[in-house]
Amino acid sequence: MSGHTRPFSRFEWMIAWRYIRARRAEGGVSVMTWISLVGVALAVFALIATLAVRSGFRAEFVDTILGSNAHITVYNAVEVDAQGRTDRAIHDYDDLAARIAALPDVSRAAPLVRGQVMANFQNSNSGVEIYGLNPADLYTIPRIAVPQDSMGILSDFPRGIAIGSGVARELGVTVGDKVRIISPNGTRTAFGTSPRVSAYEVVYIFTAGRWDIDRTRVYMPLSDAQTFFNKDGTVDEIEVMVADPDAVDDMIPSIMAAAGDRALVWTWRDSAGAFLRALSVEDNVMFILLSILVLIASLNIISGLIMLVKNKGRDIGILRTIGLTEGAILRVFFICGAGIGTVGTVLGVALGCLFAIYIDPLFSFVNYYAGGGVWDPSIRGIYSLPAQLRLEDVISATSLSLGLSWTVTILPARRAARMNPVEALRYE
């Protein structure tokens, strides 16, 4: 038998299966088998669930940034005139926007006026940020033109303003109400500066999916914004959107060349780069910690196999006596340990994938029984816990679990293979 059997033959699988399912009264360690299996399954489940939430949070965060904000912002450096007054306004904004829009991979270049003001409706006030731009350009902002939720008609924008759902909720307004916009930088008179106040009809309410945008942003037609902020014939910056937001750094030289000597640029990576780097560090740390959890769960397999080898010492001696080689014994116990790790990994992968797929109803269930308020969008920035199941995350978690569970099995399996049959049968 020893010279003609191939590795992992049927009889080796049969013996391993008999040992795994044996009851304790028969010298088995079924309880330890179940503990090891459940431990590996829960560890893999936790790893896949964490990776899915991590990927979903990152994707949702980046998507809300790219879907609601400019990928690249072009503005002028400060210029000081002879009287000491500073000016960074862009005067030839139509020509500048046309030059930038003509560049390869630029999908949009829109003149923009920005300003922070106070919004008032009846007895409610809220600090907001005005974005003044042409109506045609508003349609090209994905998270505004196609929001998570909306009220009103976007085509009515030229005769009113579009506000975030958070602003509408704070002021208690709906479509058709008139909101007063108040700027402290108003008209200068002999008695001081008089605040500038104008009323605008709310024609569109959007939910972009990001709390800080919905809570503070108000869109106004460019001509109205220029009049309100006393910036006739000028804008503050040019919003640029590109075909590939990940390649914005490569496009900066060409945009700078088209914008002129006074131009400065600010990309979405500059505004969110610190947060994305923090997410990357957190991702790496979480993966390492959860990998240790998988390792600890895999070490339970060693305990179970050591007990199994001790209980099956007589069987090992008999098997060696009838002709099984050390390699065959090693493979039998390797199948025992690797089988537990493999089944536990499969169960963990299945649970982790189900968690990622059904995270919304699960989260709603937890939120309901916790009385609400489990997820605070003012802190998290987004409205729900996202999850994105990626094939590479599943593969990495599966490979890690199988690699660890199979590796830790080798030590007790070798111990069983090297057991002296004479010593094993001496007292039998």
pLDDT in tens, 30-76: 677 788 888 899 999 999 998 898 888 888 888 888 888 889 999 88
- The per-residue pLDDT of the chain, averaged, comes to 83
pLDDT interval class at 27 (50, 70, 90) = very low
The CA–CA distances, whole Å, from 141 to 132, 138, 144, 161, 414 equal: 13, 6, 5, 15, 63
The CA–CA distances, whole Å, from 34 to 112, 300, 343 equal: 64, 10, 11
Query: Between 381 and 353, where is the model more confident?
Result: 353
Query: What pTM was estimated for this model as a whole?
Result: 0.73
Top mean pLDDT of 48-57, 83-92, 379-388, 415-424 is at 48-57
Residue 348: partners with Cβ closer than 8 Å, 6 or more residues away: 40, 41, 42, 43, 44, 45, 47, 48, 397, 401
How many CA atoms lie less than 13 Å away from 207 in the CB half-sphere?
12
Alpha-carbon distance of 267 to 279, in angstroms, equals 19
Strand partners, 126: 119
**Interstrand relation of 72-76 and 237-242 (parallel, antiparallel or unpaired):** antiparallel
Alpha-carbon distance of 237 to 235, in angstroms, equals 6
Strand partners, 117: 128
pLDDT, tens digit, for every residue of 92-147?
Answer: 899 999 999 999 989 999 999 999 999 999 889 999 999 999 999 999 898 898 88
How many CA atoms lie less than 13 Å away from 10 in the CB half-sphere?
0
Write the single-letter amino acid at 109: A
Q: Which token pair is 107?
A: 């999908």
DSSP string, 327-348: HHHHHHHHHHHHHHHHHHHHHH
pLDDT, tens digit, for every residue of 270-285?
Answer: 888 777 788 788 888 8
Residue-level pLDDT at 2 = 46
pLDDT, tens digit, for every residue of 200-238?
Answer: 999 999 998 888 889 999 999 999 999 999 888 899 999
Mean pLDDT of 387-400: 90
Please, what's the b/e burial string for 391-410 (b: 16 or more CB within 10 A of its CB; e: otherwise)? Answer: eebbebbbebbbebbbebbb
Backbone angles phi, psi at 93, to 5 degrees: -70, -30
Is residue 315 within 8 A of residue 11, CB to CB? The reply is no
Alpha-carbon distance of 98 to 110, in angstroms, equals 9
Residue-level pLDDT at 422 = 60
Q: Is the pLDDT of residue 185 over 90?
A: no
In the numeric block, the tokens 């964490």 are attached to 50
Is residue 128 within 8 A of residue 225, CB to CB? The reply is no
pLDDT interval class at 189 (50, 70, 90) = low
The H helix count followed by the E strand count for the chain is 16, 12
pLDDT, tens digit, for every residue of 322-354?
Answer: 777 777 778 888 888 888 889 899 999 999 999
Burial class (CB in 10 A: 0-12, 13-18, 19+), 347: middle
The CA–CA distances, whole Å, from 138 to 113, 144, 240, 384 equal: 13, 7, 13, 26
pLDDT interval class at 6 (50, 70, 90) = low
Alpha-carbon distance of 204 to 179, in angstroms, equals 12
Residue-level pLDDT at 405 = 87
Residue 234: partners with Cβ closer than 8 Å, 6 or more residues away: 89, 90, 91, 93, 226
Q: Is the pLDDT of residue 306 over 90?
A: no
pLDDT interval class at 26 (50, 70, 90) = very low
Residue-level pLDDT at 236 = 92
In the numeric block, the tokens 């590796």 are attached to 407
